[in-house]
A and B are shown apart, each in its own frame.
Chain A
Amino acid sequence: MFGKPKRNKIDLRDLEGVISFFGSHHAIRTEGLLKRNGIKAVLIPGPREISPNCGVALRFDWQRKGEVVSLLKEHLVHYEDVHYYPEQ
């Protein structure tokens, strides 16, 4: 579960969307939810510019924003907001 840091094949620059959360429980559950639905998602330190609310945020493939938002709603996920926030 901890492992060595994965040399993530996913390039964060390809994941331009960020979901911000109030608490880490929900961020981690959402990571699983998106992955189970075949949507690339990576947990990142929550960018301060977006939200001070939680230490962890979730980067995802912005091109699939529509699916992501409907999954969040369908699963009653407690999230703060969905942002377009490309890697700087």
Chain B
Amino acid sequence: MRLQVRAMRTIYFDNAATSWPKPKSVLRAMSDFFLRGGGNPGRSGHGRSIGAARVVVRTREQLAGMFNVRESSRIVFTKNATEALNIAIYGLAEEGKGIVTTSMEHNSVMRPLTYLRNRGYEITAIKGDGTGRVNPEAVARAVREDTNLVIVTHASNVTGTVNDIGAIGSMCRERGVSFLVDAAQTAGVIPIDVEEMKVDFLAFSGHKGLLGPQGTGGLYIGKDQLQLPLMRGGTGSLSDREEQPDFFPDRFESGTLNVVGIAGLGAGIEYVMKRGIESISGHDETILGIFIEELSGDGRFVLYGPFANIRGDGCGASACRMVQTGVLSLNIAGVSPSRVGQVLDREYAIQTRIGLHCAPSAHRTIGTFPDGTVRLSWGPFTKKGDVRHAVRALRSIADRYAELQ
């Protein structure tokens, strides 16, 4: 089957959903695995099996290096950040204990928590401010004696607002509460150090900032009390026994892994490390700066997010130097986001994501529920020319529609 792609050059502004394009090395690593490797890792001692296992170990160690994880076997592969979050949430929820989270979470956190709430678990969601930022002190105040888990998104997928993970992590460590971070929007885009930021569990996506293919993600498991994996099954280890292995990473990796995806993910991480996370976040910031400069003075545009205090904030840790990822949510006064998104796509070939972005609670927080916003999200391959084109398109849509209201 051939994909039908319009002849017109498209401009991709939906990197927060999945990054595109990927470095060519990602494709090469995947085809190399298919053409020359192709074995099942850890199942046999022949060359293809060992080659596949080497691919998996190499990517695991690259991730460990990126997140400063001391023991790489503590990183387990999943099919996406959602699966990683589910493993952590259901593995940590305890009857009679409370969970504290924020109103800025994606449904990958909200839906499992709502399921738990309906079964009698106490869930507290701390509301972010109008820019989407969550006050670490408010989180600290909500943590009580019976709280055993705090879940915070590193950055909102709606506004790009970066939370002060280090401050919340230190508080959790002091109070003896487990800390789970959703890094779906930040892995590969903002430096993450699980030791410095005192993160116990880190869920990440492989196909966004890490530039790997879809179907990849993972979970760092820094504490032993994570209960029962969601799945049990074959691991290639302890094959004479019918109980699930209790050691890492096998305990949490039942069934054949997505090795071809993991091969691509390894190449994506290599690209990110070579180019440098700092350089990528600097690029993201530059593009945000252009959008803000071009659109913030124009009263027809409503922009969401903390960009106003960019580089301010008094937040010392290197990791919260950046206050907004490469994401900008906006609306044109009086025009529905779906209309803006449709015109951008059909007339300008600019691909954005409109609506609620699987995060209704975050939209309630910034006051854009139920219509949502138009979200533009960029990545390491977005060019300044793309931004100028998007700005011109947005202005012309505003010219046409904003005054009609």
Contacts and interface: CB of A to CB of B under 8 A. Distances in A.
Interface of A: 1-3, 5, 21-29, 43-46, 52-57, 76, 78
A24 B41 contact: yes
Given A56-B53, A78-B247, A23 B48 contact: no
Contacts of A3: 36
Q: Which 8 A-B pairs have the closest CB atoms?
A: A45-B45, A24-B42, A52-B240, A2-B37, A2-B51, A23-B237, A2-B36, A28-B57
Contact of B239 (A5, A21, A52): A52
Contact of B55 (A1, A52, A53, A76): A1
Given A22-B238, A28-B53, A52-B239, 15 more contacts: A1-B32, A1-B55, A2-B51, A3-B36, A21-B237, A22-B250, A23-B245, A24-B53, A24-B57, A24-B236, A52-B238, A55-B236, A56-B45, A76-B71, A78-B73
Nearest to B240: A52
A55 B48 contact: no
Nearest to B71: A76
Interface in B249-278: 249-250
A45 B236 CA distance: 12
22 contacts: A1-B51, A2-B37, A2-B51, A22-B247, A23-B235, A23-B237, A24-B41, A24-B53, A25-B57, A25-B73, A25-B248, A28-B53, A29-B57, A43-B50, A53-B237, A53-B238, A53-B240, A55-B43, A55-B45, A55-B237, A56-B50, A78-B247
B47 A23 contact: no
Nearest to B247: A22
A25 B50 contact: no
B54 to A, nearest CB: 6
A32 to B, nearest CB: 8
Sorting the interface of chain B by its residue count into under 10, 10 to 19, 20 to 34 or 35 or more gives 35 or more
Contacts of A57: 45
Contacts of A5: 47
Interface string B29-69: 00011001110011111111111011111101100000000
Contact of A28 (B54, B71, B248): B54
B238 to A, nearest CB: 5
A28 B250 contact: no
A13 B245 CA distance: 32
Given A2-B48, A45-B44, A55-B45, A26 B73 contact: yes
A42 B211 CA distance: 33
Contact of B44 (A1, A52, A53, A55): A55
Contacts, number: 92
Contacts of B37: 1-2
Contacts of A29: 57, 61, 72
A25 B42 contact: yes
Contacts of B46: 45
B237 to A, nearest CB: 4
A78 to B, nearest CB: 6
Nearest to A57: B45
Nearest to B246: A22
B55 to A, nearest CB: 6
A70 to B, nearest CB: 19
Contacts of A28: 50, 53-54, 57
Which of A25, A46, A54 has the largest count of B CB atoms less than 10 A from its CB? A25
Contacts of A25: 42, 53, 56-57, 60, 72-73, 248-250
Contacts of B240: 52-53
A1 B270 CA distance: 15
A8 B34 CA distance: 24
Contacts of B54: 1, 28
B57 A55 contact: no
Given A22-B245, A25-B249, A45-B46, A54 B237 contact: yes
A28 B54 CA distance: 7
Interface in B4-51: 32-33, 36-38, 41-51
A46 B45 contact: yes
Which of A5, A28, A29 has the largest count of B CB atoms less than 10 A from its CB? A28
Nearest to A47: B45
A44 B57 contact: no
Contacts of A27: 53
